[in-house]
Amino acid sequence: MVPALPTKKRKHKKDSQLIIRINGLERNRFIDLCNDLDTSAAREIRRFIRDFMQKHADKSD
């Protein structure tokens, strides 16, 4: 029997969803661009959110 490989532990588990409404054409163009850049739409949206929060962190306190 082969021992199971240790699983990669995530620092911050993704446990929530953010649902947005977007124009279908814009969505498709965004998905295609992400695919062309070898990334995912979810990854790029998460990156945008993190950058946005960091940029505005000192202003919200």
Looking at residue 58, its pLDDT comes to: 79
Looking at residue 38, its pLDDT comes to: 98
Looking at residue 10, its pLDDT comes to: 66
pTM greater than 0.85: no
Number of H helices, E strands in the chain: 2, 0
Domain boundaries, the chain: 24-60
Q: Give the span between the Cα atoms of 1 and 18, in whole angstroms.
A: 42
Q: Answer yes or no: are the C-beta atoms of 30 and 41 closer than 8 Å.
A: yes
Q: What is the DSSP letter of 51?
A: H
Token duo for residue 38: 């070898």
**Residue pLDDT tens, the chain, 61 long:** 666 666 666 677 889 999 999 999 999 999 999 999 999 999 999 999 999 999 999 775 5
